[in-house]
Amino acid sequence: METKFFSQEELDKAVALLAKGELVAFPTETVYGLGALATNEQAVKSVYAAKGRPSDNPLIVTVADEMMMADYAREIPERARKLIKEFWPGPLTLLLFVKPGSLPKAVTGGLETVAFRCPDDELTRSLIAKLGAPIVGPSANTSTKPSPTTAEHVYHDLNGRIAGIIDGGPARVGLESTIIDLSVKDPVVLRPGEITPQQLSSVLDEEVLINTGKVTDQAIPKAPGMKYRHYAPSAPVVVVDTVQDFSDLNLNKQTGVIALDTVLEKLNLPAANKFSLGDSLVSADHSLFDGLRYFDDQEQIKQIYVQGFNGTQASLAYMNRLNKAAAGHHYQAK
């Protein structure tokens, strides 16, 4: 199968493919998603196959608006309405009870809940509106690899396995959406993202807990995706928490450094061995996955050092993804 790129003007071609049960990747403000008609069980199953994703890891359902979501949610609780009013369209995914029988089991992994997302991307919302039904939207990467933040990343991972990719340019945020579970007594963040627990808490006017799940392979995790290897390039990743430690590292042809400009300036590395996170946490969020992919494509790189950011709510999402990519490995100064 040849994977075609679609421009904004060719949206109707993408709609037609999705309607037929084919897979089309789509842009969002967070990362690119892998779309399939959510009501078509066969199409949904082929998403797992294309990504190499374990079949018990449920998929996000991407809707054009709240009205579309209402057809698939058992009910829309008051908390959800408040959050939708404030944050949709935007990088917030809501976990609600599914309306029984409205979606194939392949979407929910057999759970009673379903994750709803309405992305801040006009092209994608109009795609879904034209289709007239939601699309599933896992990140459009090969399972275990960093999520794609450009159409080229998607092509790199899924060329030949999907019908098309809608090119919407680089994703604004660069890390996946915040997931909040509203199916439980007290709302809890299952995956941190650009929208922080504090922001959610202030809109809901109640405490919002964080449980990014210290799940093991044995436990039944609340967000099933959390138990799998994630965001990992082939070379091992190590988090460097203290800027001063970069000068102690044994940097050479086989190492890669992903850090802010201020750090890279002092290290004087060749282009093949460094990747810039820009000048702020926002640009770091935007570029982290791109950086991990940059070194993943270079065989000579055997070790990747990545700058850590600690302490604030704003860095929760970045550190959550980085810790997974590094499997918890942090540099220990001697």
The smaller minimum CB distance to ligand TXA, of residues 48 and 305, is found at 48
Q: Is 121 in the site for ligand TXA (CB under 6 A)?
A: no
Out of Mg ion, ligand TXA, none, what residue 179 binds, judged by CB under 5 to 8 A for its kind, is ligand TXA
The smaller minimum CB distance to ligand TXA, of residues 131 and 251, is found at 131
What CA–CA distance (Å, rounded) separates 318 from 282? 9
Q: Find the binder of ligand TXA among 137, 168, 187, 291 (CB under 6 A).
A: 137
Q: Find the binder of ligand TXA among 39, 40, 46, 93 (CB under 6 A).
A: 93
What CA–CA distance (Å, rounded) separates 326 from 233? 9
Q: Is 111 in the site for ligand TXA (CB under 6 A)?
A: yes
Question: Which residue type sits at 71?
Answer: D
Site string for ligand TXA, 250-279 (x = CB under 6 A): ------------------------------
Is residue 239 within 8 Å of 306, Cβ to Cβ? Answer: yes
Q: Is 150 in the site for ligand TXA (CB under 6 A)?
A: no
CB of 4 to ligand TXA, least distance (A): 20
What CA–CA distance (Å, rounded) separates 276 from 332? 23
Q: Find the binder of ligand TXA among 177, 287, 307, 315 (CB under 6 A).
A: 177
CA nearest neighbour of 45 among 164, 315, 54, 319? 54
Sites for ligand TXA among residues 276-305 (CB under 6 A): none
Site string for Mg ion, 118-157 (x = CB under 5 A): ---------------------x------------------
Q: Find the binder of ligand TXA among 15, 23, 50, 60 (CB under 6 A).
A: 60
Q: Tell me how far CA of residue 65 lies from CA of 125, 220, 313, 314, in angstroms.
A: 8, 31, 28, 27
Is residue 136 within 8 Å of 107, Cβ to Cβ? Answer: yes
Sites for ligand TXA among residues 207-226 (CB under 6 A): 222-225
Q: Find the binder of ligand TXA among 6, 17, 24, 33 (CB under 6 A).
A: 33
Task: Summarize as ranges the residues that interact with Mg ion (CB under 5 A).
Answer: 139
Residues in touch with ligand TXA (CB under 6 A):
28, 30-31, 33, 57-60, 91, 93, 95, 108, 111, 113-115, 117, 119, 137-139, 176-177, 179, 222-225
